[in-house]
Amino acid sequence: MPKLPIQARSALILIVIAQFLGTSLWFAGNAAIPQISQFLGATDLTAWITSAVQLGFISGTLIFAVFSIPDRYSPGFVFLISALIAAVFNFLITLIPLTLGSVLFLRFAVGFFLAGIYPVGMKIASDYFEKGLGAALGFLVGALVLGTAFPHLIRALELDFDWRMIFWITSILAALGGLLVGFFVPDGPFRRKNPKFDWTLLPQLSKIPDLKSAASGYFGHMWELYTFWAFTPALLWFLLGFDFASFENGIFSFLIIGIGGLSCALGGIIANKKGSQKVALFSLIGSGICCLLTVISPSFPSGFALFFLLIWGMLVTADSPQFSTLVAQATPPIYRGTALTLVNCLGFGLTILSIQFGQWLMGYLPTHLAMSTLSIGPIIGLLLFRYFKKEKEALSRDLLG
């Protein structure tokens, strides 16, 4: 049954809601880590469970990019099928015998099919907006951030909750999100279908200076982002003494991560006036400074420490939709879905290295010093962003000369 055409604004609202519902799967496992660790008799599983989802997402985005799935097939259909399958794998963790292997496999599978939700959602938005894409992706990524934070809110609402409730709720939400896009959001007016599979596409994309510049900034941002999110509960324990299983830890983890959704939306509005590049670089520099300030964070008064973490939560996310906007703008429309998916794949690959590196460092350093090493990402990202911009300027001069 064909879907009725809708206005771009209406499509964006539906995609934003669906993105929030679908990406609530992302950190569902993290919100239940204290209970799962106790049940399995294991030590803290934060790095393992987070990395399993990230590795699944990397694998999924790699497959989706190599075979150009978001450009060859209706992105709304891809979103629908991915959301339903991810919801099933998420739900299965409450049904099968619980072992470390089963938990990691199911979280991997959820991550794999999140590849058909997050980057494909951005692809759908780019098919509706040629102008104002920075604002559109700001709202869209903001929804992902809220979806990521949502399981922490569930954790905070009831101290004696059944950990399986997190997986039940997020599975239902993800399925609803998939149905919302699959049945009510038709292909956008600016979609350009790529009818064939092309092995030479990825090398072609690597030759676009603007794409390499935007991707470099995004990679620097990703080195910091998910490690900060994964260890936000640990920072709250270290700086403020909030026990991992406490209401305070859950609610403030939700606020610190969730406030990034607001900054993504505000950054998108500002980007419409000032440009995506300025917003992205401001945010990346600001979050890099926050990384460095963690060195002295134990000396902060408790009220200021919380304020500091909220500011960091805003800055660490606001650049994400704007770097994605720069990636989309640098890529021909027929390849846009593939480019967004590929950049996501490589960026999330870095998150595994960063999370595991952070977990390893915490075995030797206090939490605040380990987290200060996240500054590596913003610093290198900024340097490479500038380098590839100069490469483009040099190419332009050669062409004119």
Q: Which range is most confident: 51-55, 228-232, 373-377?
A: 373-377
Q: What is the pLDDT of residue 1?
A: 44
Structure tokens at 353: 């290295």
Burial of 147 by CB count in 10 Å (0-12 exposed, 13-18 middle, 19+ buried)? buried
- Give pLDDT tens digits for 42-55: 777 877 887 898 88
Please check the confidence at residue 362 and state whether its pLDDT lies above 80. yes
Over 70: is that where the pLDDT of 212 sits? yes
So what's the pLDDT on residue 249? 87
pLDDT of residue 348: 85
> Is the per-residue pLDDT at 327 higher than 70?
yes
Q: What is the pLDDT of residues 132-160, one digit of tens each?
A: 788 888 988 888 888 778 777 777 776 46
Asked if pLDDT for residue 326 goes beyond 90, the answer is yes
Tokens 């809220």 identify what position? 146
Question: What is the average per-residue pLDDT within 321-325?
Answer: 92
Q: What is the pLDDT of residue 288?
A: 96
- Mean pLDDT over 100-106 rounds to 92
Query: pLDDT class for 38, splitting at 50, 70, 90?
Result: confident
Look at residue 246 and give its three-state secondary structure.
coil
Which tokens sit at 230? 């994964």
Phi-psi region of 196 (alpha: psi -120 to 50; beta: other; left: phi over 0): beta
Closest of 22, 40, 44, 16 to residue 230, by C-alpha: 44
DSSP state of 291: H
What CA–CA distances, in Å, run from 363 to 28, 61, 148, 291, 369?
25, 31, 26, 19, 11
**pLDDT (mean) for 104-114:** 95
- CB neighbourhood size of 293 (10 A): 16
Say whether 242 sits in a helix, a strand or coil.
coil
Task: Concatenate the DSSP letters of all residues of 203-220 into one string.
Answer: HHHTT-HHHHHHHHHHHH
Q: What is the pLDDT of residue 160?
A: 60
Q: Mention every residue, 6+ apart, whose C-beta is less than 8 A from residue 223.
A: 350, 351, 353, 354, 374, 376, 377, 378, 380, 381
Q: Encoding tokens for residue 351?
A: 């998150």
How many residues are there in the chain? 401
Mean residue pLDDT of the chain comes to 87
Q: How far is C-alpha 109 from the chain's CA centre?
A: 17
pLDDT category of residue 79 using cuts at 50, 70 and 90: very high
Res. 131: pLDDT tops 70: yes
Residue 383 has pLDDT above 90, yes or no: yes
Instruction: Compute the radius of gyration of the chain from its Cα atoms.
Output: 20
Contact 54, 177 (CB under 8 A): no
CB 179 within 8 A of CB 80: yes
Amino acid sitting at position 137? L
Span 206-227, average pLDDT? 91
Residue 16 has pLDDT above 70, yes or no: yes
- 241-277 residue pLDDT tens: 888 778 888 899 999 999 999 999 999 999 989 999 9
Instruction: Give residues with Cβ within 8 angstroms of 318, minimum separation 6.
Output: 260, 263, 264, 266, 267, 279, 280, 283
Fold held by 8-394: Growth Hormone; Chain: A; (1.20.1250)
Convert the pLDDT of each residue in 233-242 to its tens digit.
899 999 998 8
Return the pLDDT at 3.
64
pLDDT above 90 covers a percentage of the chain that reads 45
Query: Above 80 in pLDDT, residue 166?
Result: yes
More confident: 83 or 164: 83
CA 85, 90, 94 angle in degrees (round to 5)? 135
CA–chain centroid gap for 395, Å, is 33
Q: What's residue 194's pLDDT?
A: 65
